[in-house]
Structure 1
Amino acid sequence: MKQYLDLCKHILEYGVEKGDRTGTGTKSVFGYQMRFDLSEGFPLMTTKKTAFRLIVSELLWFLKGDTNVKTLIEANNHIWDEWAFEKWVNSDKYTGPDMSNFGVRASKDPEFKVVLKEQMKLFCDKILSDESFAKEFGDLGPVYGRQWRSWPTQNGETIDQLENLIEGIQNNPDSRRHIITAWNPAEVDDMALPPCHSFMQFYVANGKLSCQLYQRSADVFLGVPFNIASYALLVHLIARECKLEVGEFVHTLGDAHIYSNHFEQVETQLARSPRPLPTLLLNEEKSSIFDFEIEDITIEGYDPHPKIKAPIAV
């Protein structure tokens, strides 16, 4: 994963200090590209342990067109909790302790962090036990899964971009229109978080499937390692269904930034040497991307350095 470490070094050396929506502050560069040859191994971060199971469950959540965190929480995946939690604590139905700016406050105040953890657990428990609460506060709006699987049209119908993409690759592999977009200007204001990884294009050549992703906003320490692995997995799944080998994953970043409260963690990671990439294993009995479950997707030979914790900016 030298490509990723080079990105981190580039931002630390050439990045400009910028404010941001969360109030945390960043070092940022604009316009950066990484390329990963997927035949050389599965690009899961080795300079820090990265939770592959969370990557799998999130991608399958997208693929099923789901937008409610309940499904993720049931799979013990909490990477979207903060955005749903924010919706609850900002509503007139929330009566607990003040949770304003909770992401930044928790990184600076250990006592508040304990209170936040208690409220977050209460929130997750209510999501799992109360259907009406989950429907009201667990849904993130028309985020990725909605746009991928049921993009709304003006006449009230929907477009399944993913199904259309697979059919297009199978029937017209040389087309330059193998595209899925998650950026829907008509609905972006209704999303808990406007899509960061917003546009992807697939390309077939020499019997191999490649994908280029345009990511408008890239949280380099926490988010990008997940994004790399998630889209690499997506390429593998679509290639399997279309009877193709895997080619490249090309990752093009718009605003690539390191949050100011991640600088120390990035330096720790840069001091580590990359290890061999793991191998992706897909259940041979499954061929359709729509049939895969979490247990059908595993890796072997993953020997990363220890996990590095960092606060998430919400």
Structure 2
Amino acid sequence: MHPEQQYLDLMARLLNEGDPRGDRTGVGTRSLFGQVLRFDLSRGTPVFTTKKVAWKHAAKEMLWFLRGDTNIRSLLEGSPRVTIWSDWPYQRYCRETGDSIEMREFEERILTDDDFAQAWGDLGPVYGKQWRRWLASDGREIDQVETALDLLKHDPNSRRIIVEGWNVGELDQMTLPPCHKTYQFWVSGEGRLSLMLTQRSADVLLGVPFNCVGASVFLHLMAAKAGLDVGELVWCGADVHLYQNHVEQAAIQIARTPTPWPSLVYSGGDLAWEAIGLEHFELLNYDPAPAIPAPVAV
């Protein structure tokens, strides 16, 4: 069975068995609780083929997290222009100022006006801050990513190789609390590095494809830096849901047949996190079906 079939089967179960639920956005979902997908990255990267996934956008977002950045400015800079985080600061700006500025103009001001970007482009202590600068009770800043990497190199049997985003004391300061919240690494006796990603909340149509690409990038980078081979990506979703305005798109995707998965190649070696860019990645033999447009629930 093609490994992507797990994902398609999950969407089919949501359509047929999902529990109708209200949600924060007001859109409504069909939800299942506690779902698992397993992908062996040595046999291909889970960049889903039954619709085109903007993998460079997802990779750029992951590199943004790993640099410890929390401002949308660097996501908007260069190519591709990543706008998936723009809705939240844009809405806050419009709400708090009463300005009826268009989204594109808001993003341009973020790019060109330093003071505006500092005031309105920051998302609070979201992923990057927690991963690279978790604030301890004694005032120390803990770099969880470097701590995990050190354990992979010097204590690979540890059961504590974890990068955690759910900082209860700072949730109310975050634009959006972390959905993909916990990353735990595991090294086999053969030197294969596997990663379990746990999501508290999983938007199956739009979010999960991005999350799988991002986690794959993270796994490749940690493996390269630790001198290990890539192993499995184990994806675990708690509240796994399909938005009611994604039902038609899900039905289209489920009817499609997956093609062979591509291979992600990383060439940056042990570069510093701040120096790693999209130019250090190549996706080989990606042959997806056309994209399926769908609205984002904010």
For 1:187, what is the secondary structure of its paired residue?
helix
Between the aligned partners of 1:149 and 1:168, the Cα distance in structure 2 is 15
Kept after mapping to 2: 8 A contact 1:211/1:248: yes
Deviation at 1:282, TM superposition (A): 1.4
**Which residue is equivalent to 2:51?**
48
Task: Report what 1:95 is aligned to.
Answer: 99
Task: Indicate if the aligned counterparts of 1:200 and 1:211 stay in contact, CA closer than 8 A.
Answer: yes
**Secondary structure, in 3 states, of the residue corresponding to 1:90?**
helix
- Over 4 Å off, 4+ runs: none
Where does structure 1 lack aligned partners over 5 or more consecutive residues? 97-117
> Counterpart of 1:82 in structure 2: which amino acid?
D
Say which of 70, 73, 77 aligns to 1:70.
73
d(CA) in 1 for partners of 2:56, 2:182 = 24
Following TM superposition, by how much is the alpha carbon of 1:289 offset from its aligned partner in structure 2, in angstroms? Answer: 5.8
Determine the structure 1 residue equivalent to 2:191: 207
Question: Map of 1:192-231 to 2, 5 A cutoff?
Answer: 192-205=175-188, 206-231=190-215
- More moved, 288-297 vs 79-88: 288-297
Match of 1:38 in 2: 41
Alpha-carbon distance between aligned partners in 2 of 1:34 and 1:142, rounded to the nearest angstrom: 29
- How far, CA to CA, are the matches of 2:40 and 2:272 in structure 1? 21
SS at match of 1:186: helix
**In the aligned structure 1, how far is the partner of 2:111 from the partner of 2:229?**
40
Please, what TM-score do these two structures have when normalized by structure 1?
0.91
Name the structure 1 match of 2:153: 170
CA distance in 2, matches of 1:210, 1:178: 11
Which residue identity does 1:167 align to in structure 2? D
Q: Deviations over 1:132-151 (max 9, x none)?
A: 11111100000000000000
Q: Distance in 2 between matches of 1:90 and 1:295?
A: 38
Which of 217, 230, 233 is equivalent to 1:246?
230
Question: What is the number of equivalent residue pairs in this alignment?
Answer: 291
Of 130, 138, 141, 1:158 maps to 141
Q: Which runs of 5+ in 2 are unaligned?
A: none
Alignment of 1:51-130 (within 5 A): 51-75=54-78, 76-91=81-96, 93-96=97-100, 119-130=102-113
Per the alignment, residue 134 of structure 1 pairs with 117
Displacement after TM superposition at 1:176 (Å): 0.5
Question: C-alpha separation between the residues in 1 aligned to 2:124 and 2:91?
Answer: 13
The answer to whether the aligner puts 1:144 opposite 2:157 as a matched pair is no
1:158-200 CA-to-partner distances (Å, cap 9, x unmatched) read 0000000000110000010101100000001110000000111
* Kept in 1: contact 2:224–2:269 (CA 8 A): no
Secondary structure of 1:234's aligned partner: helix
Give % identity.
46
Mapped to 1, the partners of 2:36 and 2:147 lie a distance apart of: 27
**In structure 1, the residue corresponding to 2:102 is in which secondary structure?**
helix
For residues 268-301 of structure 1, the C-alpha deviation after alignment (integer angstroms, 9 at most, x for no partner) is 1011100110111212x53236232111112010
TM-score normalised to structure 2 length: 0.95
Alignment partner of 2:30: what SS? Answer: strand
- Contact between 1:238 and 1:289, CA under 8 Å: does it hold in 2? no
Q: Is the 8 A contact 1:30 1:256 kept in 2?
A: yes
- Residue 208 of structure 2 aligns with an amino acid whose one-letter code is V
